[in-house]
Amino acid sequence: MKRIQLGNTVFEGKNDVYLLDGDRTVLVDAGVALPDVREQLRDGLAAHDLTAADIDDIFLTHWHHDHAGLAGELQAESGATVHVHEDDAALVAGDETVVSAHSDLLLDALGDWNMPEGPREELLDFLDFHDELAGEDVDVTPFVDGDTFDVNGQTFEAVHLPGHAAGLAAFGFDGDEGREAFVGDAILPKYTPNVGGADLRVDSPLAQYVDSLLRLVEMDLERAWPGHRDVIDEPAARALTILDHHRERTENVVGVLEEHGSCDTWTVSAHLFGELENIHILHGPGEAYAHLDHLAHHGVVERDGHEYELTDENVDVDALFPVVESRS
């Protein structure tokens, strides 16, 4: 297995594309559809005496453009089979009805969060450019949780890990020292993957992501290969660190409501993150929403219109999250 690292000027950290060669040439993820990234990927393939036309299969961890953007043009050159979880398949395929519905969800969310006009216009201008990063439409082959694939004599198992994206999936396999997996953005070595704003289709995004973190812990991986930056040598410990981060963020959201009283999502986000720009104008209030939604589900806050208000003066945040023993 070889890693090809690609530049990424839109999101945090370099993207990782993984190359597995043998009887079949296989990629895990494909990078964003930008000219310089396209050349980096082609140069990375050439370093292993391969071209885009040699690719037989592309396994996508999820639909986000920095992971799926180049899949369409690679498929056009090679005829490769592009595998993606069924929940993300229509977005990767460029289904106009589904893409339009996703755009409608965005506009609904911005209103629901009570986003002011200035940041709203800045975000929409940014996303107009962002749409170009999706690349060409793809003829997708959907899979579901638990499906297995023979990859050059090695078995890949698809593991559905929703939260950051509805169809985010890892691909588990047996490594030299134990179980490993390509995990996309389920966990990352430096940043905490966004929930709430990264995929507006996800219901109860924080609850779903917590369940996915627990599933990653239960996978007992020796090593995880993420969609950005470097390998994660203690994936279970990293997953639990991210779980603790979300527990602390929920405490911070409760603190905002305790100090300022009833607030809308945008106001909570402003207290948490301050002034935001480009994609973070979406991810900041999205994150605040995910935590407010989690609190509302547990009856800790009540919502009236755009506003959220605490119903309990002594919130036990720990009771809203699972207790898991640390692993290393």
Of 145, 198, 182, 165, give the one whose Cα is nearest residue 16.
182
Of 240, 250, 265, give the one whose Cα is nearest residue 298.
250
Sign of the Cα torsion 127, 129, 135, 137 reads positive
DSSP code string of 85-147: EHHHHHHHHT-HHHHHHHHHHHHHHHHHTT--HHHHHHHHHHHHHHGGGG-S---EEEE-TT-
pTM over 0.85: yes
Count of C-beta atoms within a 10 Å radius of residue 5: 16
Beta bridge partners of 159: 170
Beta bridge partners of 81: 57
What b-and-e string marks burial along 89-111, b requiring 16 or more CB atoms within 10 Å of the CB? bbbbbeeeebbeebeeeeeebbe
Asked if 172 and 159 touch (Cβ cutoff 8 Å), the reply is: yes
Asked if 250 and 295 touch (Cβ cutoff 8 Å), the reply is: yes
Amino acid 312: pLDDT: 86
pLDDT in tens, 270-284: 999 999 998 999 999
The residue type found at 277 is E
Q: Pull the structure tokens for residue 142.
A: 């959907």
Count of C-beta atoms within a 10 Å radius of residue 218: 11
What b-and-e string marks burial along 114-138, b requiring 16 or more CB atoms within 10 Å of the CB? ebeeebbeebeebeeebeebbbebb
- Burial classification of residue 31, based on how many CB atoms lie within 10 Å of its CB (0-12 exposed, 13-18 middle, 19 or more buried): buried
Task: Say what the alpha-carbon torsion angle 178, 162, 243, 222 is, to the nearest 10 degrees.
Answer: 10
Beta bridge partners of 2: 19
Amino acid 10: pLDDT: 61
Amino acid 84: pLDDT: 98
Cβ neighbours of residue 48 closer than 8 Å, sequence gap 6 or more: 2, 19, 21
Q: Residue written as tokens 């009833």? A: 262
Tell me, what DSSP letter sits at residue 30? -
Spatial separation of the C-alpha atoms in residues 219 and 35, rounded to whole Å: 37
Amino acid 313: pLDDT: 84
Beta bridge partners of 3: 18
Helix (H, G, I), strand (E, B) or coil at 219: helix
Asked if 238 and 277 touch (Cβ cutoff 8 Å), the reply is: no
- Burial classification of residue 8, based on how many CB atoms lie within 10 Å of its CB (0-12 exposed, 13-18 middle, 19 or more buried): middle
Which segments of the chain have a pLDDT < 70?
A: 9-13, 131, 326-328
Amino acid 7: pLDDT: 84
